[in-house]
Amino acid sequence: MSASGSDLDVRDPRIAVQLLLLAAYVALVLYAGATGDPLAGLAVDIAFSVATVVFGLYLSTTAAGDSLRALAAGAFVGTGVTQAIALFGVAFAAQLSDLFLVAALVLFVVIRFRR
């Protein structure tokens, strides 16, 4: 692979770890869906919550005056936090998490395709 910024270089240890974590998450989602195991479902929800907060925090470090990027970062963090609250049985938090996720994804797509 070339060294351009758009290539995914799996020899980079950070990229390799991220891909490994993504593969493990997908496997966990598939397992939880196939078996209906409530513990696996809880693990999926916790992993999703943590991943969205971490991604939002990462995105916020790259905002540097970009208001759309800052909004997307806040929406991703909001998704993770409200998802975690929903795990305690707070019903409206699940819907709020969904709204935050839609906003975050729309903003992220706008950021990626604007130029």
What is the per-residue pLDDT across 17-41, written as a single tens digit (0 to 9) for each? Answer: 888 888 999 999 999 999 999 999 9
Q: What are the tens digits of pLDDT across the range 37-73? A: 999 999 999 999 999 999 999 889 988 888 999 999 9
- Residue 46: which H helix or E strand, with range? helix 38-61
- Domain positions in the chain: 13-113
| Predicted TM-score of the model (pTM) | 0.80
Q: Alpha-carbon distance 50 to 80, whole Å?
A: 6
C-alpha closest to that of 83 among 40, 51, 35, 57: 51
